[in-house]
Structure 1
Amino acid sequence: MAKLAIHHYIDVMTEGQSQGIEELFSSDFCQRVQGLKYPNHSRSELISFLKKQSGEKMNCQTTLQIIDECAHYMIAKVIMKFESFTKTDLITLINEDGNWKVIASIHTYQ
């Protein structure tokens, strides 16, 4: 089930999918972007942004690497290669009463 949640996350971020978006992110979700000029984003800010991007597909190649996984959490690395830069997301998911949710995301850009 954790793998379904991480694939849903990838579809939301790269394919503009917005169905089930509220259920994907935990209530205390936080998105951090590495670098001094980038602010952190709350769950509500990210969901609002992603709903506005509904249907927008990113022109990137995506790879997924599961870093650690057990019955209660998963840490995954999602790499999105665009033409002129690469975005890497380090994602943490937790199992909340049988439902997998993204609790944190840290982005870096190269």
Structure 2
Amino acid sequence: MKTLKTMMLGLAMLALCGAVKANTNDNSKFTKNYAINTYIDAMTRGKLAGLNEVLDQSAAFNMVRGKQVLSFGKKQMLDYFQSNKNVEQQCTTSTTVVENNAGIAIVKVDMKFENFTRSNYVTIAHTANGWKITNVYSVFVS
């Protein structure tokens, strides 16, 4: 009987430890660099691994086209990225940090094509779930 109680206690402890470990969020990979590199991979190479995780649920995407501003949400952008999965853009990409502090970073991602440049101003915020992209504002320059 004592052996049975000991085994049951051991199994209960094992289940408890497993449940606690399952609820632990590993946000160590959600750094500023990871978020921006994941975004660049999606935009320029069509590589979508990790993109859904680095986009905040309320992420907003705005694009200036002429005199019009187009706005999109996370789902619309994920659908767009999915339709361009594994499509490599013929551009040169560079990044410039515009602002960087403990709570927020703004990174300018320039995609230089043959006849124009697309500049993406990417806002990354430090959330409870790591660094997440919260806003992208894109402008096109000839």
- Tell me which interval the TM-score lies in, with the shorter structure as reference length: over 0.9
Identity in percent: 23
Q: Could you say which structure has the larger radius of gyration?
A: 2
CA distance in 1, matches of 2:62, 2:39: 16
Match in the other structure for 1:28: 58
TM-superposed CA distance for 1:3, in Å, is 1.6
Match of 2:88, SS state, is coil
Match in the other structure for 1:77: 108
1:8-52 residue CA offsets vs partner (Å, 9 max, x unmatched): 111111010111121121111111112434521111000011012
Which structure's residues are more often strand, by fraction?
A: 1
Match of 1:71, SS state, is coil
Match of 1:9, SS state, is helix
Match of 2:115, SS state, is coil
Match in the other structure for 1:10: 40
Match in the other structure for 2:132: 101
Task: Give the number of aligned pairs.
Answer: 110
2:62–2:138 contact (8 Å) kept in structure 1: yes
Within-5 A mapping of 1:40-79? 40-79=71-110
The CA RMSD measured in Å over matched residues stands at 1.2
**Greater than 3 Å deviation, 4+ residue runs:** 35-38
CA distance in 2, matches of 1:78, 1:28: 21
| 1:86 is aligned to 2:117 | yes
Uncovered stretches (5+) of structure 1, i.e. residues with no partner = none
Normalising by structure 1, what TM-score?
Answer: 0.93
1:54-99 residue CA offsets vs partner (Å, 9 max, x unmatched): 1011000001001111121110100000011110001100111151
Which structure's residues are more often helix, by fraction?
A: 2
Amino acid at match of 1:6: I
Higher relative contact order (CA 8 A, sep 6+): 1
Match of 1:54, SS state, is coil
